[in-house]
Structure 1
Amino acid sequence: MRPILNRRVLQTPPKSTMRLDPARHCPRCRFAPAFLALALSAAPVLAAPPRPAAPPLQGVVTEVVDGSTLAFAMAGQAPLRLRLRDIEVPEACQPGADDARRALAERAQGKPALVQLSGRRDAQGRTLAAVRVDEADLSRRMVEDGFAWSTRSKWDRGPLVKQERMAEALHRGLHGHGGQLSPTEFRRRHGACPAAPRK
């Protein structure tokens, strides 16, 4: 005879109440949909490509004021007063100021130029800009030729410090004069020059 097997009735255990009401047992879970919606709404912004740089302005350098300041005019428009970005030139009362102005005039006066505005202004209200003449960046060229210094701060040695050191080692421009001080060092020792009347 076959043995009689005890048939047990399998009972389905009661479903966990956590599955039925997660917010009751997990207070943080009630905010999950809101966080998810916020993340999804921000995704298109995070994935958006950076804005392309504005095209350079085309015009002519109409005036050179000093070693880093010039007037730039587009056809039919009033001139813009620009300051070359990333450089410092001798102060108006510092030896070498006239040499720096003449150097910039030789390289830019009356020539066609491409200007990329930075959107920032200095303390004198001049717009900082990158200016290209004869396919050369004027800031870089002035430093390479020894008539300007790379701007620097406490935490930044400056974008053109390599060109500055090369010009100094080769005694180019103002570096050929013994004892020439950088504009920063000149101001530290002697203070700022008296304000000149604005043209």
Structure 2
Amino acid sequence: MRGWKTWLVWMALACCCMGGPGQAAERPQPWAARVTHVSDGDTLWVQPSRGGRPRKIRLDGVDAPEICQPYGVMARDRLAQQVSGRMVQVLPRRHDDYGRLLARVSVQGQDMGRWMVRHGHAWSHRYRGQPGPYASLEARARAQHLGLWQSAAEMPRQFRQRHGRCH
């Protein structure tokens, strides 16, 4: 009897997580927004076109230099040149440990995280020993000495460990 009750509880939890019997989990849908502010090379603020409050978004899959770190201001400025005041598509991915929305952001079909790494303005975000989604683009930018690869670049995580956060 106990096994049957455990099975029933697990099935109820599965139905709640999946949206009901026979339904797949709902995938996040992209939404349109206008970029209102760029904080740094991987963080921006957008005003959703459907209304509502402005949203802070962290580009998923990249890690740009801290704003107080060498090349940090340049990374922010390069992202701002691409997106400021423009309409973008936001594809939510998940929330990070700090509650920030991680999303893929694109302008006219061009993924801005991919663009930042390809041009040497950010790293492909490493997580648990994985090289990240844009590792091959990072390697190419590094080999071509683009952007932050023109000099010895320190990963933001290491910079924060040595100096703390900028703000």
Given the two structures, how large is their TM-score scaled by the length of structure 1?
Answer: 0.68
Residue of structure 2 aligned with 1:113, choices 88, 94, 103: 88
Residue of structure 2 aligned with 1:163, choices 115, 118, 137: 137
Aligned pairs for 1:49-128 (under 5 A) are 50-75=24-49, 76-123=51-98, 125-128=99-102
- After superposition, the C-alpha distances for 1:129-168 in whole angstroms (9 at most, x for unaligned) are 1111121111111000100001113432212111111110
| Structure 2: gaps (5+ residues) | none
- Kindly indicate whether structure 1 or structure 2 has the higher relative contact order, using CA contacts under 8 Å at least 6 residues apart: 2
- Range with bigger deviation, 145-154 or 93-102: 145-154
What amino acid does structure 2 have at the position aligned with 1:129? Answer: A
- Range with bigger deviation, 83-92 or 70-79: 70-79
- Measured in 1, the distance between the counterparts of 2:52 and 2:23 equals 33
* Larger Rg belongs to: 1
- After superposition, the C-alpha distances for 1:41-81 in whole angstroms (9 at most, x for unaligned) are x7xx7993633523211121111111111111123322101
Verify the 8 A CA contact 1:122 1:128 in the aligned structure 2.
no
3-state DSSP of counterpart to 1:117: strand
Richer in strand (by share): 2
Runs of 4+ aligned structure 1 residues displaced above 6 Å come to none
Aligned to 2:165: 193
What amino acid does structure 2 have at the position aligned with 1:85? Answer: D
Aligned to 1:140: 114
Pairwise CA distance, 1:193: 2.7
3-state DSSP of counterpart to 2:41: coil
3-state DSSP of counterpart to 2:117: helix
Verify the 8 A CA contact 1:92 1:193 in the aligned structure 2.
no
Verify the 8 A CA contact 2:29 2:92 in the aligned structure 1.
no
- Measured in 2, the distance between the counterparts of 1:169 and 1:142 equals 15
